[in-house]
Amino acid sequence: MLALPSITAPAGFIASFVSFLFCSSFSLATGLLIAEVTLNSPTRSDTLGTSREASRTEEEGTVGLLTLSDKLLGKSGGIFVLLPYLFLHYSLLVAYISKFSQLVYDRLGVAPPVSSSLFTLLLGGVCLGLPTPSVDAVNSTLVACMIAAFAGLLIVAASSVDPSLLLTPPHWDQTLSALPIIALAFVYQNVVPVVVKRLRNNRKKVVEALVWGMVLAFLMFTLWDGAILGAQPQGGSNWDVASHPQDPLETLQAISPVAGSLADAFSLFTLATSFIGFALSLTDFIGEALSSDINKPAGWVTANMSEDVRDHPQPSHPKSSATSIARSGDDDNTTDTSLKHSEETIPVKRKPSRRLVCFGLALAPPLLFAQLNPEGFYSVLDYAGTYGVMSLFGILPVALCWQQRYIGNTVAQSMELVPGGKPVLLFLGGAATAVIFNQAIMHLAQHGVL
């Protein structure tokens, strides 16, 4: 979110608005595809009905992307998920750590190695050392502070917005290169299985949660983009951000000291809550990958998979507001699926030492890379959006849904959450492939290969 004004400035606000609309619709559609596949993939908690044991293991029985891919696409599906998922999450954690260290260095003069280490150890310690309710409480507090800072920022910046700067002619040729980072800003698909389970497989509530979460994200990103691209700093009558695509925080500092302070607070809270969400997601995925065996027959469910034994389910995330909405759901209209499992599928609590190893594998590599490349915020986001988001949350949901709908022949047409059948799936998969192809050519050209 913090990078959006910088990468959309060359295209202008009108083109950016259209790009936001397209990417939010794309992300909503692929998120609904993952929800559809998850709803039609029974888990261990489904066998327990609505008993107290079912409630206790509700989140422990969540099916993750690795398990879904292994089940529906076989060994190749598990391998396809593994590398993009690790690449995307490692890249985002590197970006968050780098941005935090840069911000602290600019404001306080603290050396990046020191600030990045403190940031990682502090938030990593919160995720590892606190029980789930406490982690949720910390993250919810950070989200509330982020929203408060954002609201104050909009109020202060509104008086400095020049509408004529927002209505400049759009440069449509500049939008395609910005799509990966825009799509990255709308990423929430990694928490969709958790949302499905927290809403007890209630189809209506799942759809409502995802839709309203995406609407909220779209509004926040549009207002943030407009506040920066329409900003007119004090005494800067001949200045416009489109010709000076600098850091948005520098733009707000030029508006007024108050706006700059609010922007700093907003950035810190955004980085912190984003870091927590993706750190937990990556930790759980690593545990699932270490516990699973891709060579086992398709459909085999690992007894020790991370998401079935997690001690810390993912908390609310600013870009996945649906998770917060999900918590308010009740148990009415619960969809129960009965499926007999062997005794090996009973959840087993993970040992603390195992979770510590998973956290180390999740946080140590991005911290090290951020130390080596402290100014790689925008370049890292570009690669993550192109090759991580478009493959993992663009092509993969289409492949999973296609397999479940038309090849596995296990899902009734009435259970489809995304209408349009095969043409819509082909469009979504084709759009993701086109973005990857376009950006790959650009990256090769930048490195002198083409």
Instruction: Please write the tens of the pLDDT for every residue from 242-293.
Output: 444 456 667 777 777 888 888 889 889 999 999 998 998 888 888 878 876 5
Over residues 373-384, mean pLDDT: 70
Does pLDDT of 306 surpass 90? no
Question: What's the mean pLDDT in 353-374?
Answer: 86
pLDDT at 64 over 60: yes
Three-state SS letters, the chain: CCCHHHHHCCCCHHHHHHHHHHHHHHHHHHHHHHHHHHHCCCCHHHHHCCCHHHHHCCCCCCCCHHHHHHHHHCHHHHHHHHHHHHHHHHHHHHHHHHHHHHHHHHHHCCCHHHHHHHHHHHHHHHHHHCCHHHHHHHHHHHHHHHHHHHHHHHHHHHCCECHHHHCCCCCHHHCHHHHHHHHHHCCCHHHHHHHHHHCCCCHHHHHHHHHHHHHHHHHHHHHHHHHHHCECCCCCCCCCHHHCCCCHHHHHHHHCHHHHHHHHHHHHHHHHHHHHHHHHHHHHHHHHHHHCCCCCCCCCCCCCCHHHCCCCCCCCECCECHHHHHHCCCCCCCCCCCCCCCHHHCCCCCCHHHHHHHHHHHHHHHHHHHHHCCCCHHHHHHHHHHHHHHHHHHHHHHHHHHHHHHHCCCCCHHHCCCCCHHHHHHHHHHHHHHHHHHHHHHHHHHCCCC
- Confidence tier at 378 by pLDDT (50, 70, 90): low
* Angle, alpha carbons 42-45-48 (nearest 5°): 110
Asked whether the beta carbons of 99 and 267 are under 8 A apart, the reply is: yes
pLDDT confidence of residue 333 = 44
Asked whether the predicted pLDDT for residue 239 surpasses 60, the reply is: no
CB atoms within 10 A of CB 313: 20
In this prediction, residues 375-399 reach a mean pLDDT of: 81
Residue with tokens 């108050």: 258
Structure confidence at residue 121 as a pLDDT band (50, 70, 90): very high
- pLDDT of 307 reads 40
pLDDT for residue 204 is more than 90 = yes
334 assigned to some structural domain:
no
In a domain, residue 337? The reply is: no
Please report whether residue 283 resides in a domain. yes
Domain of 324, in residue numbers: 4-329+343-446
Name the phi and psi angles at 87, rounded to 5. -60, -45
The larger pLDDT score, comparing residue 362 to residue 299, is at 362
- 36 in a domain, yes or no? yes
pTM (predicted TM-score): 0.75
* pLDDT band (50, 70, 90) for residue 186: very high
Highest mean pLDDT among 39-48, 269-278, 342-351: 269-278
Sequence letter at residue 204: K
Grade residue 143 by pLDDT with cuts at 50, 70 and 90. Answer: very high
Give CA–CA dist 390/434, Å, rounded.
Answer: 9
Residue 98 tokens read as: 């780098």
Mean pLDDT of the chain: 77
Tokens of residue 187, six digits: 């990423």
Is 336 within a domain?
A: no
Q: Is residue 137 part of a domain?
A: yes
* Tokens 């949720």 -> residue: 136
335 found inside a domain: no
Give me the number of domains the chain comprises.
1
Neighbouring CB atoms inside 10 A of 322's CB total: 30
Tell me if 338 is assigned to some domain: no
Identify the weakest region by mean pLDDT among 230-234, 366-370, 425-429.
230-234
> Residue 319 sits in a domain of what CATH number?
1.20.1740.10
21 in Cβ contact with 185 (< 8 Å): no
Query: CA of 114: how far to CAs of 100, 101, 104, 107, in Å?
Result: 11, 8, 10, 14
Average pLDDT over residues 331-351: 41
Where on the phi/psi map is residue 12: left (φ > 0), alpha (ψ -120 to 50), or beta?
A: left
Q: Which band of pLDDT confidence, cut at 50, 70 and 90, is reported for residue 48?
A: very low
Asked if residue 62 lies in contact with residue 194, where contact means CB atoms within 8 angstroms, the answer is yes
pLDDT digits (tens, 9 = 90+) for 9-43: 888 899 999 999 999 999 999 999 999 999 988 65
Percentage of the chain surpassing pLDDT 70? Answer: 74
